[in-house]
Amino acid sequence: MKAIQIHAFGGADVLQIDELPSPLLEADHVIVRSQAAGVNPIDWKTREGGGVASLSNGLPLILGWEMAGVVESASSEVTIFQPGDEVMGLLNFPQPGRCYAEEVSANAAHLVHKPDNISFVEAAALPLAGLTAWQALHDYAHLRAGQRVLILAAAGGVGHLAVQFAKQAGAEVIAVASERNHDYLRQLGADACIDYWKVELQDAIRDVDIVLDGVGGSSGVKALAVLKHDGVLVTLPSKTAEEVVEAASQHGYRATGMRVFPSADQLQEIADLVEAGKVRVEVSATFPFQQVREAHQLSASGRVRGKIVLTF
């Protein structure tokens, strides 16, 4: 099979396509013929030596943690999936998921059946961003109906799904994004939009129950000022999480970092919303896997609406 590997940490030029043996079938696993794999900021951050590179178990490393494809074979312990089933999943995070490959060994406990009403490309874009948004809102912020939720980077991969999940949960949703994305975010359910280029957050809004911070750093620190006294900010970028949490502690606010984890149960809840037409995933760009370097460069630009996906 062909797989995209790195043999050293560095820029996009370290990404190369290698010919490798097909993965062996392990207990409780299935082999999936990949149709598409999502590209996320954690991919290029890890490629550069940051992200979860310290958990990579050495080099060479096949990147990628989310994928969609067709089951080729299943171990005898697996009863829920059969060859020919269309599946999607977030695999093994934060350990290597090895999804940038034509064939992927997947723990069956990390997979769900692909909704029939979406493509493999859309399915590959859902697991990591979807579970990150879901867990941030429900597991960390304990979202309840009627709360006010402010979402930074609302048009991004995690953000655009968080807007929809929060709205489905009965929240009032305020989306922070550039003005060009405001109509799009209102279509997804945002009740109000704020252009971060034109106004300071604390001048535009107050008394927010939950802030979902997809930017981190100084932006996350500034966003603390809009919280209610008993509100909470969940910050996503791990590199600046300590900075944001420390600032919150110093000024009497509550903030927490988070790390997504595979959950078939939660991914199934997301898949059910997608299948019911209540949530949709935005794929802004697709690249054949031979153009993985271009995909990483676009992701690192920070100017992507929704998700980027590699196709196999």
Residue 229, pLDDT score: 92
**Are the folds of 2-126+281-311 and 129-257 the same?**
no
- The stretch 69-83 carries a mean pLDDT of 97
Using a 10 angstrom Cβ sphere, with 0-12 exposed, 13-18 middle and 19 or more buried, the burial of residue 53 is middle
Domain boundaries along the sequence of the chain = 2-126+281-311, 129-257
- Which pLDDT band, with edges at 50, 70 and 90, does 57 fall under? confident
Looking at the predicted structure, is the pLDDT value of residue 294 above 90? yes
CATH of domain 2-126+281-311: 3.90.180.10
* CA 212 from centroid of its chain's CA atoms: 13
Q: Over the chain, what is the mean pLDDT?
A: 97
Residues 4-29 have pLDDT tens digits of 999 999 999 999 999 999 999 999 99
> What pLDDT digit, counting tens, does each position of 193-215 carry?
999 889 988 889 999 999 999 99
**Residue type (1 letter), 211:** V
Architecture per CATH, domain 129-257, reads as 3-Layer(aba) Sandwich (3.40)
Give the C-alpha separation, 158 to 149, whole Å.
14
Q: What is the pTM of this model?
A: 0.96
